[in-house]
Amino acid sequence: MSKKNKSTFGKFMSSFGNMFKRLFVKDKVEKDLLAEEAIMTPAKVILKNLVSNKLAVIGFIGFVAIFCFSFIGSQIKPLSLNYTELTNANLRPGRNYLKYPKELDSKDVKEIVSGISFSAAITEDGKFYIWGTESNRELENVSTKIFNVPAEVYENKIVDIVAGGTHILAIDENDNVYGWGYYGNNQTIVPDNVKKVFEDPNVSIKKVLAATQWTAILGTNGELYIWGSSQAQMNFLISSKTQGRIVDVVAGDNNMALLLDDGTMTMIGDRGTEFYLNIPENVKNGEVKIKQMAATNRNVLLLTEEGDLILWGSAENQLNVMPEYEGDIVAIASGYKNFLALQDNGEVVVWGSTELGQNVLPEDADDLTEIYGGYFQFYGEDSEGVLHAWGNKGYFFGSDHFGRDIYTRIIHGGRISLTVGAIAMVISTIIAIIVGLTAGYFGGWVDQALMRLADVFSAIPFFPIAVTLSFIMGNKVSQSNRLFIIMIILGVLGWMGLARLIRAQLLLEREKDFVLAARALGVKQRNIMSKHILPNVFNMVLVNITLGYASSLLTEAGLSFLGFGVSEPTPSWGNMLNAAEQATVIEFYWWRWVIPAVFVIAAALCINLIGDALRDAMDPKANER
C-alpha cells in the first residue's frame, strides 16, 4: 500500500533511479521462475521494458552527455558575445597550431615565424620545419596549400623565413626566394625585376617581411621592394630620397616604419593611423639609437641601445600602454595584436589582446633567452634550448566568419537551444494539460468551446505564423528578450495535438470499468480523477513531452536557420547554421554547417529514441505474453 501512496512524480523519479541501478549494478538475487511471473505495477513494467531496450539506453546516455556538454561546458568555457577576430575567420578544425616538432628542442633554432594557422622554423644549420593547420584560403583549381612545401626548401640551407597570414617565404644562402601558400595577390611570386636585383653578387637579401596581402624584401643595398595586392602597392610608396638608405623596417598590414642609415625614422603607408601619426619626435629625428624594432598591426615598439622601450600607436587592446616591468629588456617581439618583451631574468612581459591566451605562458617558461612571435602564436627558447609555446592553440571545431571559436559557440548554443526547446515544450504542455483536462472534465459547452479553439489554432499553419509573429514581436523587444519571444511562440502554437489527446484519453478512461468500480465503492469524484484517471493520462503525456521536445528543438533550429529564431550574436545551433545559405560556405567551410547540424540531429535523435522507447514500453499490447 505504501507504494501506491507515492506521488506520480516520485514514481517517475524512482523509475530513473532504478534504471541506473539496473544499468550499472548487477542483480545478485537469482530470480525464480514464479517470481518473474508476479504482477508488477505499470511503472515497473514500463521501466523493465525501457531498460531492456538498448536503443532507449543509448538515447538516454547520449542525451545526458549532450546535456552535460552544453550546461557544464558553458560554465567552464566562458563566451564573450561580441568578440570578433576577422583575421582568424573561417579556419578549419585543428588544435595543433602550437605543436612544434619535438626534435626542435634539441636543435639550435634560428627563427620561428607564424601565420594565422601555422608556424614554421629554421635552425642554425638551415633546416626547415613547419607545423599547424592548413590555412583557410581556397582557390579553385589552384594549389594554395601551406603544407605543400617546395622540395628545394628542404634541400637547401635556408637562412631566413617569413610568414604572412597565409603564405610563407623562405630564403636560402644564395638569395633564392621560395614562396608558397595563398597567392591570390601574387604575394608568393617574386617579381622579375626584384629577382634581377639579387642576381648581383654584391647585393643580398637583408630582411623579408610579409602580411596577408603583400610581401616585401629589404636588400643590403638599402632598397625595399614591395609586391602583392594592388592596394598595398598603392599604399606603400617609397620616395626616391629614402630608397637606398633603408637599414631596417617593421610593418603592420597598412603601415611600415623605415629606419634609415642616418638613424632617423620615416613612415610609409596609410597616413591616417596612429601608427603613422604618433611617432615620437626623438625617434623621427634619430636622437635615440635603436637596437630592435617590432610592430603589431597598429603599433610600434622600439628597443633602444640603452635598453629603454619606446611605444606608440593605436589604443586598441591597450597596446599603447606600457606595462610594468623590472630589470632590463633584452629582446622584443610582436604578434598581430600583442607585444612581448624579454627581461634579462628570463621572464617575458606580454601586453595587448588576451582573447586567445596570448598572455598565458607555460609555467616552466621562466628562463627564456629568445622570443619569437607572429599573429597569435608565440614561442620562447630557454637556456637549455627547449622551446615553449603559448597563444592560439587552434580551433577544435574551426572558426566562423567572425573568427569566433565554433567549439565554444556550440557549447553555449547547445545551452540556448536545449533551453528554448525545453521551455517551449513546457509552455505548450501546460496549456495542453489545462485545456485538455478542463474540456474532458467539464464537457458540454466548455468542451465544445475549447475544442473549437484548438481547431482554430491548428488551422493556422504553424511555420508561416511563427515566422510572422517572430517578425512582429522581434521588432518590439530587445535582442535578449527575443529568446523568450521564440519560446512563447513555439509554446503557444504547439499545444493543440496534446490537448486533444488528453481530452480524448480522459473521455475514454472515464467510461472504463475500474472507474465505475471506484464510483461504486464511493470514492470521491475528485479522487477518481486524480488517483485513477490521471495516472493513465500521464503516461501518454510523458511520451508526448519527449517527442514534442525533439520537434521543438528542430523547429527552433529551422526558425533560427532562416533568421527568425534566436538572433546573433547569441549563439544557437540553428543560427550557427544560418551561414550555410551561402554556397561558398557549403562548398569550402563544411565545419561551419555540418558540426552544428550534427549536434541538432544527435540531440533530436536521442530524445526521439527515448520517446519512442517510452511509447513502446507503455503500449499494453506490446506487454502481452
Partner 1 sequence: MGKYLVKRIIILIPVIICISIILFGISKAMPGDPVRAMLPTTLKEEQYQAAYDAMYERLGLDKSLPEQYVRWIGNLFLGEFGYSTMYNRPVKDAVAEPLKNTIILNVFVNIFYLIIAIPLGIKCATKRGGFFDNFWSVFSLVTYSLPSFFLALSLIYIFGIKLGWLPMGGMPNTSILAGTDLYLSWLKHLALPVITLTIISIAGAIRYVKNAMIDALSQDYIRTARSKGLNTKVVVYSHAFRNALIPVSTIIVGTLFSLFSGSAITETVFTYNGIGKLMVAAVNQRDTQMIITMNLFFSIVSVASVLVSDIIYGLVDPRVKLS
Grid cell 638599402 is found at: 222
Q: Which is nearer to partner 1, 97 or 589 (CB)?
A: 589
Cα distances from 298 to residues 113, 250, 294, 316, 352, in angstroms, run 19, 11, 11, 8, 11
Please answer whether residues 426 and 116 qualify as being in contact, where contact means their C-beta atoms are separated by less than 8 angstroms. Answer: no
> Rounded to the nearest whole angstrom, what is the least distance from the CB of residue 487 to partner 1 in the complex?
19
Question: What residues form DSSP beta bridges with 380?
Answer: 371, 388
Q: Which is nearer to partner 1, 442 or 471 (CB)?
A: 471
Cell triple for residue 456? 482554430
**Interface map 368-387 toward partner 1 (x if CB under 8 A):** --------------------
Tell me: does residue 507 bind partner 1 (CB under 8 A): no
**Interface map 569-588 toward partner 1 (x if CB under 8 A):** --------x--xx-x--xx-
Within 25-96, residue ranges assigned H as helices are 33-36, 42-52, 54-76
CA distance 355 to 441: 59
Cα distances from 234 to residues 212, 228, 238, 255, in angstroms, run 16, 10, 10, 12
Q: Which is nearer to partner 1, 64 or 472 (CB)?
A: 472
Please answer whether residues 515 and 533 qualify as being in contact, where contact means their C-beta atoms are separated by less than 8 angstroms. Answer: yes
> Rounded to the nearest whole angstrom, what is the least distance from the CB of residue 301 to partner 1 in the complex?
46
The count of chain residues that interact with partner 1, using the rule CB under 8 A, is: 44
> Rounded to the nearest whole angstrom, what is the least distance from the CB of residue 272 to partner 1 in the complex?
36
Contacts (CB under 8 A) with partner 1, residues 590-609: 590, 593, 597, 600-601, 604-605, 607-609
CA distance 44 to 21: 13
CA distance 226 to 216: 4
Question: C-alpha angle with apex 326: 322 to 331, nearest 5 degrees?
Answer: 70
The one-letter code for the residue type at 409 is R
Contact stretch for partner 1 (CB under 8 A) within 3-11, 159-167, 262-270, 589-597: 589-597
> Rounded to the nearest whole angstrom, what is the least distance from the CB of residue 58 to partner 1 in the complex?
12
The one-letter code for the residue type at 18 is N
- Helical (H) or strand (E) element with 549: helix 534-562
Q: Which is nearer to partner 1, 507 or 597 (CB)?
A: 597
Q: Which is nearer to partner 1, 302 or 607 (CB)?
A: 607
**Interface map 111-150 toward partner 1 (x if CB under 8 A):** ----------------------------------------
Please answer whether residues 112 and 121 qualify as being in contact, where contact means their C-beta atoms are separated by less than 8 angstroms. Answer: yes
CA distance 602 to 596: 10
Contacts (CB under 8 A) with partner 1, residues 426-485: 452-453, 455-456, 458-465, 467-469, 471-472, 475-476
Residue 606 phi, psi dihedral angles, 5° rounding? -60, -45
Cell triple for residue 27? 542483480
Strands (E), 286-328: 290-295, 299-304, 309-313
Cell triple for residue 253? 598590414
Angle separating helix axes 54-76 and 591-618, nearest 10 degrees: 130
Among 323, 357, 563, 569, binds partner 1 (CB under 8 A): 563
End-to-end, the C-alpha distance of the chain in Å comes to: 27
Q: Which is nearer to partner 1, 142 or 449 (CB)?
A: 449
Q: Which of 251, 227, 111 is nearest to 179 (CA)?
A: 227
Q: Which is nearer to partner 1, 5 or 475 (CB)?
A: 475
Q: Which is nearer to partner 1, 117 or 578 (CB)?
A: 578
Q: Which is nearer to partner 1, 124 or 581 (CB)?
A: 581
Q: Which is nearer to partner 1, 76 or 583 (CB)?
A: 583
Q: Which is nearer to partner 1, 465 or 515 (CB)?
A: 465
The one-letter code for the residue type at 503 is R
> Rounded to the nearest whole angstrom, what is the least distance from the CB of residue 117 to partner 1 in the complex?
23
**Interface map 518-557 toward partner 1 (x if CB under 8 A):** --------------------------------x---x--x
CA distance 450 to 444: 10
Grid cell 601586453 is found at: 351
> Rounded to the nearest whole angstrom, what is the least distance from the CB of residue 497 to partner 1 in the complex?
12
> Rounded to the nearest whole angstrom, what is the least distance from the CB of residue 482 to partner 1 in the complex?
14
Q: Which is nearer to partner 1, 179 or 574 (CB)?
A: 574
> Rounded to the nearest whole angstrom, what is the least distance from the CB of residue 437 to partner 1 in the complex?
22
> Rounded to the nearest whole angstrom, what is the least distance from the CB of residue 303 to partner 1 in the complex?
51
CA distance 111 to 168: 13
> Rounded to the nearest whole angstrom, what is the least distance from the CB of residue 475 to partner 1 in the complex?
5
CA distance 138 to 169: 19
Length of the chain: 625
CA distance 609 to 603: 10
> Rounded to the nearest whole angstrom, what is the least distance from the CB of residue 551 to partner 1 in the complex?
8
Q: Assign 323 to helix, strand or coil.
A: coil
- Contacts with partner 1 by CB under 8 A lie at 452-453, 455-456, 458-465, 467-469, 471-472, 475-476, 550, 554, 557-558, 561-564, 577, 580-581, 583, 586-587, 590, 593, 597, 600-601, 604-605, 607-609, 612
